[in-house]
Amino acid sequence: MESLFCCPVCGAPLTRDARTYRCAAGHSYDVAREGYTYLLPVNRKHSAAPGDDRDMAAARRTFLSGGYYAPLLSALCGLCVRETPAAPAVLDAGCGEGYYTAGIFQALMDSGRRPAMAGTDISKFILRSAAKRDRRIEFAVASSYSLPLADASVDLLLDCFSPLALDEFRRVLRPGGVFLYVVPAAMHLWELKQVLYEKPYPNEEKATPYDGFSYEDIVPVDGRITLTSPRDIRALFEMTPYCWKTPREGAARLEELSTLTTRIAFRIHVFRRTEQSH
C-alpha cells in the first residue's frame, strides 16, 4: 500500500506491507507488532530514548481515555471536517498516544471523507499506545523538526501541545492547507495549579502571526472537569510539565486529594498555508 511517509535516508516515497516499509532505493523499516515504524535516524536522536517515557505514556493513556478532554477533541473534529477535501492527507505532528489522531480520523470517515492519516512522535513508548488505537492510521517515530513526509504533501496538520516546527510545517503543507495549533489558555488547569503552587501564574496568551501562513481564527474551548479518583488526578499531574517542576510540598498536597474539579481552557489557532513550499 502507498504511504504518506517517505524515506528518512533518501527522501523517496515509501510503500508498506504488513511488516515493512520500503523505498525504491532499498532502504527498509520494520513495522513493530503494535503497528508503528521507526523513521528517526540515529544521528538525529538526542538521547537513547527521546520523548515521553513509559510512565508518562501510561499517564496520558489513562487520563485521555477518561474523556476529560472530549470538548477539545470535538472542536478539533469539527474544524477538520470543515477544512478538508474529500480525500485529505492529514498529519498529527507530536501525536502522543493518539487520542486526537484516532478521533479525528473517525470523524473524517463518518463525514464521508476518505482520509489518509499519519501521526508522528519522538517517543516509541507513547506510539505503542497510539498505534493500537486504529490500525488504519500510520504511526512513526520521527522528529517534528525532520518530518518523513514529502514537500507539499499534507492538506491539514495538527500540532496539539507539541513543538512548533514551523519550517517543517511550511514545507509539508500544501498551498491552502490548514494548520491547527493547540495551546493552553490563561486559566487552563488553574485549580490544579492552585494545589501545586503557593503563587500560581496564568499561562501567557498571544496571537503570533507566522511567515507563510494567514491567520484564520482562534477557536476557544473552555469547560470544567471533575476527576473522581486519585488515579486520574495522578495521571493528569504526570502528563503535564508540572510533574517535573512542582515543589515536593505541592505534590504532597495533590496526593491527599480524592477528587479535583478544575478548569480546562484551550485555544485552537487556525492558520492557512499561503505560499508554495520550497
Averaged pLDDT for residues 239-249 = 90
Which pLDDT tens digit goes with each residue over 53-87?
678 888 999 999 999 999 999 999 999 999 999 99
Residue 43: the pLDDT is 53
High-pLDDT (> 90) share of the chain, %: 87
Which pLDDT tens digit goes with each residue over 27-59?
999 999 999 999 998 655 444 444 566 788 889
In sequence order, which residues have a C-beta less than 8 Å from that of residue 48 and are 6 or more positions away?
none
Residue 52: the pLDDT is 60
Crossing angle of helices 54-64 and 124-133, rounded to 10°: 30
Handedness of CA 42, 48, 51, 54 (dihedral sign): positive
pTM of the predicted model, to two decimals? 0.94
Residue 277 pLDDT greater than 50, yes or no: no
83-93 b/e (C-beta count within 10 Å ≥ 16 → b): bbeeebbbbbb
Averaged pLDDT for residues 155-168 = 96
Which CATH topology does 36-42+49-273 take?
Answer: Rossmann fold (3.40.50)
Q: CA-CA distance, 117 to 3, in Å (whole number)? A: 9
Which pLDDT tens digit goes with each residue over 206-238?
999 999 999 999 999 999 999 999 999 999 999
248 C-beta neighbours (distance < 10 Å), count: 7
